[in-house]
Amino acid sequence: MAVTTGQLIQWKQQKRPIVALTAWDYAIAQLLDTAGVDLILVGDSLAMVALGYETTLPISLDEVVHHAKAVRRGVKRALLLVDLPFLSYQESPQQAIHSAGRVLKETGAQAVKLEGGYPAMVETVNRVTLAGIPVMGHVGLTPQSVHQLGYRQQGKTEEAGEKILQEAIALEQAGAFALLLEHIPDTLASRITEKLTIPTIGIGAGLHCDGQVLVTADLLGLSEKQPPFAKSYINLRQVISQAVQDYSVEVRERRFPEA
């Protein structure tokens, strides 16, 4: 059965951890979906891992939609969620509804994610949700604000932690169906997870979130550089490089194709 936003909330109640990963094309999406991943995010990190941009800022809504359409073709069971890229939603709630609506109409995704909290994004989340579009919030380290925050852990002081907790509560009240917590202390993520009735999905936020997400390029060891909290389960850069070298040798020595 296809995963729904309601199912994610039920899994939180049942304390059944949610498995989430990012995807940027059809092949990766199909592999993740058939492996049983619950939530597949077309993250704007694809700007860096698939398109070679330095940050997530340059990617356009058109580029995200293009990749999300390919991912959609590979996903049958998981909930498909798409990131709204930088400046496709910050100008006004109307702009956010338009961009999020475009994502749902053109890609067949079930939900969108947007970064930021109180006060700027609370009204926006509310308005997009009221338009019938499920929204996941994203607080803590928000990479679209890299020029203000860097890639440093957020919420380290009492005051900063309290601000993130209040943002989380406000986003839940605004109608978000889930919340991504990025690079914040484990204790803060745990407090937020206990306080909210919607699921928290953590990345660099410790063990006590309701689910975990990784950028799939990091998990596969494909990224040129990755954050300290990511874990690679295989080094595909090495595997691919070896395969390409083996092929090159065989072509040059006329050993491939076999006679």
Q: What is the binding site for ligand KIV (CB under 6 A)?
A: 22, 41, 43-45, 83, 182, 203, 213, 215
- Residue nearer to ligand KIV on the CB measure, 172 or 182: 182
Q: Is 182 a catalytic residue?
A: yes
- Residue nearer to ligand KIV on the CB measure, 83 or 172: 83
Least distance (Å) between residue 242 CB and ligand KIV: 27
Place of tokens 């809504």: 61
Whole-angstrom distance, CA of residue 80 vs CA of residue 74: 10
Least distance (Å) between residue 244 CB and ligand KIV: 26
* Active-site residue (options: 115, 167, 172, 182): 182
- Residue nearer to ligand KIV on the CB measure, 141 or 165: 141
Half-sphere exposure for 245 (CA within 13 Å, toward CB): 6
Least distance (Å) between residue 4 CB and ligand KIV: 20
Least distance (Å) between residue 127 CB and ligand KIV: 21
- Residue nearer to ligand KIV on the CB measure, 94 or 188: 188
Cβ–Cβ contacts within 10 Å for residue 188, how many? 24
Give the residue nearest to ligand KIV (CB).
43
SS3 state of residue 213: strand
Whether the CB-CB separation of 202 and 212 falls below 8 Å is answered with: yes
Burial 39-73 (b: 16+ CB within 10 A, else e): bbbbbbbbbbbbeebebbbebebebbbebbebbbe
**Nearest residue to 211 via CA among 228, 193, 226:** 193
Q: Which residues are catalytic?
A: 182
